[in-house]
Amino acid sequence: MAVKIALTLTHINNILMLHYKDFLATLVLGFALANSAHALATAQKQAVLIKKDDLAVLKESAQQWQQTKPQLERLLKLESELQRTVDKLKQLNAQPKPQQTNHLAVVNTNALFAVQVGAYKNKAVLEAAIKQFQSASNKLEVNTEQVLIDQHTFYRLKLGAFKTKEAAKDACKSLINNNTCFVTYYVKTPQS
């Protein structure tokens, strides 16, 4: 569509440029003719002389104008359609983008306990485990803790944020069917 419009606009532009000089001549002669017609209509009738060559040019220009009139009307119509399309695109660009919502469970700020489900020496393995717990039907908050033990870095994977140790034990019991887990202290490092 854009190529077709561009070709059409180029074609019309070429037509307009070819007839621009003729149009100016027509315009000047038209004003002269209008002024002479107005002068004839007034009480002081004055005659205006036009050479045959000028009259022929004027008639030819008027004919060319009549021939290009439908093309110019079509150009004006295309221009208004193009302007409406530009306005619609501006509106679409101006619309605010929907905000992404975080589907993780709300973090309990008073939490003291969490359920540890793994400890890893390799961060890539930790990331894979995080994805596994996030993709499962897990509604517990996923967080990690980095610790240094005997000059080795371990990454602990923890689930949930519980106020009481009993609540953490209950969550661990429900997870024990699938994983080994135990209750530990909560560390606020949520993973999104």
Q: Which residues contact 147 (CB under 8 A, 6 or more apart)?
A: 153, 154, 156
Q: pLDDT band at residue 190, thresholds of 50, 70 and 90?
A: low
**Range with lowest mean pLDDT among 36-40, 154-158, 162-166, 175-179:** 36-40
Q: What is the pLDDT of residues 49-79, one digit of tens each?
A: 888 888 888 889 889 888 888 888 888 888 8
Average pLDDT, the chain: 73
What pLDDT is stored for residue 100 in this prediction?
A: 43
The span from the CA of 27 to the CA of 14, in Å, is: 19
Residue 125 has pLDDT above 60, yes or no: yes
Write the pLDDT tens digit of every residue in 72-98. Answer: 888 888 888 889 988 888 888 877 665
Residue 155 scores a pLDDT above 60: yes
Tell which wins on pLDDT, 112 or 12.
Answer: 112
Inter-CA distances, 4 with 8, 20, 29, 110, Å:
6, 24, 36, 65
What is the structure's pLDDT at 55? Answer: 86
Q: Which of 141, 181, 135 is nearest to 161 (CA)?
A: 141
Q: How confident is the model at residue 192 (pLDDT cuts 50, 70, 90)?
A: very low
The pTM for the full model equals 0.40
Question: Is domain 113-185 classified as CATH 1.10.10.60?
Answer: no
Strand order of the sheet with strand 142-149?
142-149, 152-162, 113-120, 182-185
Q: Where are the domains of the chain?
A: 2-94, 113-185
